[in-house]
Amino acid sequence: MTHPAQPKASHFINGEYVEDTGGTPIPVIYAYSGEQIATVYAATPAIVDAALESAKAGQKIWAKMSGTERGRVLRRAADIMRERNYDLSVLETYDTGKPMQETLVADATSGADALEYFGGLAGSLTGEHIPMGEDWVYTIREALGVCVGIGAWNYPTQIACWKGAPALACGNSMVFKPSETTPLCALKVAEILFEAGLPAGVYNVVQGMGEVGGALVTDPRVDKVSLTGSVPTGKKVYAAAAADMKHVTMELGGKSPMIVFDDADIDNAVGGAINGNFYSSGQVCSNGTRVFVQKGIKEKFLARLAERVGNAVLGDPMDEATSFGPMVTQNQMDIVMGYVEKGKAEGARLICGGKRADMDGFFIEPTVFADVTDDMTIAREEIFGPVMSVLDFDTEEEVVARANDTEFGLSAGVFTKDFTRAHRVIGNLEAGSCFINSYNDAPVEAPFGGVKASGVGRENSKEAIKHFSQVKSVYVRMGDVEAAF
Ligand code: NAD
């Protein structure tokens, strides 16, 4: 019998599901049972071509509609997503293995927020009038054209919406390629957008590995590329897009610092460290995986952390009581276990976890290492799994320098009751998305993105509009034209 997660077809092009079994088969494995629940096929060159042609034609129709009309479609799609939140959450759980306790509140809901927010902005995207004496300049905020979105596997619904909603609000069309690991959810986003009234061709989904992503990025019909992925992929995609001077947004990896001063509320800091390391089993780009704790409260912090991590409920992700799910794939589990072994071998002190959970599924116990030093592999490389490194520090000056000593710059957090210090420290940290006495909040109203190797551009908020549109300026002369000859 066909599993309920099996989509009607692999791709969504020009307003309908399209199949082409000539592409490489991509098995979809449920991370909890290890069973294959669906198969999709990587896009062949003919599928890529059809998606880009439909996006090119659809964009022309879409850009001619008023912003208010475009916004109405996006807001209708947001309503449909909210009505279907339960079913979409089940699919997200099948796609990623993340527990329903999370997917019910963080995926389709976050996607719907983006559709609603950018739907609301769509009618207000205007240019300006610049007086020049009797003459004047006016500006027009224009769509870029055809945008390509390429997703990572940790938030398949959210990423499809965070890229699609601002792109569409500005009058662009999109061809979205989900991660080959989680190909299911973006198809539902496309289906819902069309149900909400989106013209055919404006949002297309094609499946495939890096090769298909590469074909999209280098195609001359494409005007902009927005990638969510790792730094090495980001470097390749940025370079490929540069060949044709395409616009880019790069949402990449991190090794973010979370700094806990002696005066911090310990339970809040522990809560922040848990949210910033173990949500989605640690598969979150902005995680605060280097937790710097000032020496005065280190042992108290570790004791409370171990106690609370012990309350994690590992189990069936479909059971809403489960608060901690498996790794997305066997491969990701093996990579993360490799880091756990390195942490032990390089002399970090294991506080809890440190092994696979004794159960079905690709589970690794939530793991905390203490006495981690800056040069250890687990303190330098992005692990993308449930492995927290706790490092100690003495002074503010020292911790800021150490926190910044990384190629990454996605996020950073500070826990302290001293607000002057909190703002000063945040001001000195090299990161794009920061938190004071909190960690990992990502509301659509706030810009999200990294500095240094963690990325270029911003998603969410009004900032995203700048990255999905361009400004044309028009000088209007009222008098005669003077010329030298
Ligand atoms: P990845 O870099 O392996 O793949 C990301 C996407 O890029 C996939 O869809 C993949 O098929 C595609 N791709 C790979 N090679 C390509 C190429 N040459 N040309 C075009 N496309 C190509 O990343 P992943 O393992 O899927 O996801 C984990 C990474 O994503 C982590 O580093 C994580 O930090 C990052 N991430 C960042 C954010 C953010 O917003 N900053 C959010 C989630 C995940």
State the amino acid at position 6 in one-letter form: Q
Phi, psi angles (nearest 5°) of residue 474? -125, 115
Beta-sheet pairing, 247-251 with 224-228: parallel
Asked if residue 350 has its Cβ within 6 Å of ligand 1, the reply is: no
484 CA distance to ligand 1 middle (Å): 55
Angle at 284 between CA 282 and CA 288, to 5 degrees: 75
The structure tokens listed for 61 are 């129709």
From CA 17, how far away is CA 9, in angstroms rounded? 6
**What is this structure's pTM?**
0.97
Ligand 1 center from residue 254 Cα (angstroms):
12
**Active-site position among 163, 224, 255, 298:** 163
Atom of ligand 1 at shortest range from CA of 448: 40
Query: pLDDT of 254-312, one tens digit each?
Result: 999 999 999 999 999 999 999 999 999 999 999 999 999 999 999 999 999 999 999 99
Q: Closest residue (by CA) to atom 40 of ligand 1?
A: 251
Coil, strand, or helix at residue 331?
A: helix
For this structure, is 60 an active site residue? Answer: no
Which among 285, 352, 365, 396 is annotated as catalytic? 285
User: Residue 115 and residue 162: Cα distance in Å, rounded?
Assistant: 8
**E-only strand ranges, 247-308:** 247-251, 257-260, 290-294
CA of 311 to the centre of ligand 1 (A): 31
Q: Tell me how far the alpha carbon of residue 9 lies from the centroid of ligand 1, in angstroms.
A: 23
Residue type, 230: S
> Cβ(210) to ligand 1 under 6 A?
yes
User: Cα(378)–Cα(52) distance, rounded to whole angstroms?
Assistant: 41
* Stretch 446-460: mean pLDDT: 98
119, amino acid identity = G
Q: Are strands 173-177 and 203-205 parallel, antiparallel or unpaired?
A: parallel
CA distances from 8 to 37, 41, 184, 445, 447 (A): 13, 12, 10, 34, 35
Return the best residue to mutate from 218, 285, 334 for the ligand 1 pocket (most ligand atoms within 8 A of CB).
285
Q: If you measure from the C-alpha of residue 158 to the centroid of ligand 1, how many angstroms do you get, rounded to a whole number?
A: 14
Q: What pLDDT, in 10s, does the model give residues 134-189?
A: 999 999 999 999 999 999 999 999 999 999 999 999 999 999 999 999 999 999 99
Residue from 150, 182, 236, 463 whose mutation best tests the ligand 1 pocket (most atoms within 8 A of CB):
150
Instruction: Please spell the DSSP secondary structure of 95-109, one letter per residue.
Output: HH---HHHHHHHTHH
Q: Which atom of ligand 1 is nearest to the CA of 153?
A: 26
pLDDT at 1 over 90: no
Above pLDDT 70, what percent of the chain?
Answer: 100
162 Cβ closer than 6 Å to some ligand 1 atom = no
Whose Cα sits closest to atom 35 in ligand 1? Answer: 229
Contact between residue 189 and residue 158 where contact means Cβ atoms under 8 Å apart: no
Residue located nearest, by CA, to atom 19 of ligand 1: 214
Angle between helices 156-169 and 67-83 (to 10 degrees): 160
85-127 pLDDT, tens digit each: 999 999 999 999 999 999 999 999 999 999 999 999 999 999 9
**Amino acid type, 409:** G
Structure letter (DSSP) for residue 42: P
Give the DSSP H/E element, type plus range, for residue 351: strand 349-352
Distance of CA 96 from the midpoint of ligand 1 (Å): 15
- The verdict on whether 459 is a catalytic residue reads yes
pLDDT digits (tens, 9 = 90+) for 177-197: 999 999 999 999 999 999 999
Is residue 285 lining ligand 1, measured as CB closer than 6 Å?
Answer: yes
Identify the three-state secondary structure at position 257: strand
Interatomic CA distance for residues 355 and 365, integer angstroms: 6
Dist. CA 345 → ligand 1 center (Å): 29
Q: What does residue 76 show for φ and ψ, rounded to 5 degrees?
A: -65, -40
Mean pLDDT of the chain: 98
Residue 302 C-alpha to ligand 1 middle, in angstroms? Answer: 33
Is residue 149 lining ligand 1, measured as CB closer than 6 Å? Answer: no
Per the document, the length of the chain is: 485
Task: Specify the amino acid at residue 122.
Answer: A
CA of 478 to the centre of ligand 1 (A): 52
Atom of ligand 1 nearest to the CA of 180: 11
Q: Is 452 a catalytic residue?
A: no
- At residue 384 the predicted structure's pLDDT band, cuts being 50, 70 and 90, is very high
Q: How far apart are CA 151 and CA 251, in angstroms?
A: 10
CA 373/CA 32 separation, integer angstroms: 34
Nearest to 50 by CA among 83, 17, 14, 104: 14
Which residues, at least 6 apart from 37, have a Cβ–Cβ distance to it below 8 Å? 3, 5, 6, 28, 29, 30, 94
3-state secondary structure (DSSP) of residue 66: coil
CA 118/CA 165 separation, integer angstroms: 6
Q: What is the pLDDT of residues 304-335, one digit of tens each?
A: 999 999 999 999 999 999 999 999 999 999 99
Q: How far is CA 364 from CA 327, 343, 352, in A?
A: 7, 15, 11
Average of per-residue pLDDT across 69-82 = 98
Distance (Å) of CA 309 to CA 101, 178, 372, 401: 17, 32, 18, 29
Distance of alpha carbon 142 from alpha carbon 125, whole angstroms: 9
For residue 282 and ligand 1, the question of a CB distance below 6 A is answered with no
* Amino acid sitting at position 272: G
The yes-or-no answer on residue 466 being catalytic is no
Taking the CA of residue 254 as reference, the ligand 1 atom at the shortest distance is 34
For the CA of 449, the closest atom of ligand 1 is 41
Phi-psi region of 113 (alpha: psi -120 to 50; beta: other; left: phi over 0): alpha
Q: Which two tokens stand for residue 44?
A: 């062949």
252 CB within 6 A, ligand 1: yes
Question: What integer pLDDT is reported at residue 383 of this predicted model?
Answer: 98
Q: What share of the chain is helix, strand, coil (3-state, %, to 5)?
A: 40, 20, 40
Q: Return the CA Rg of the chain.
A: 23
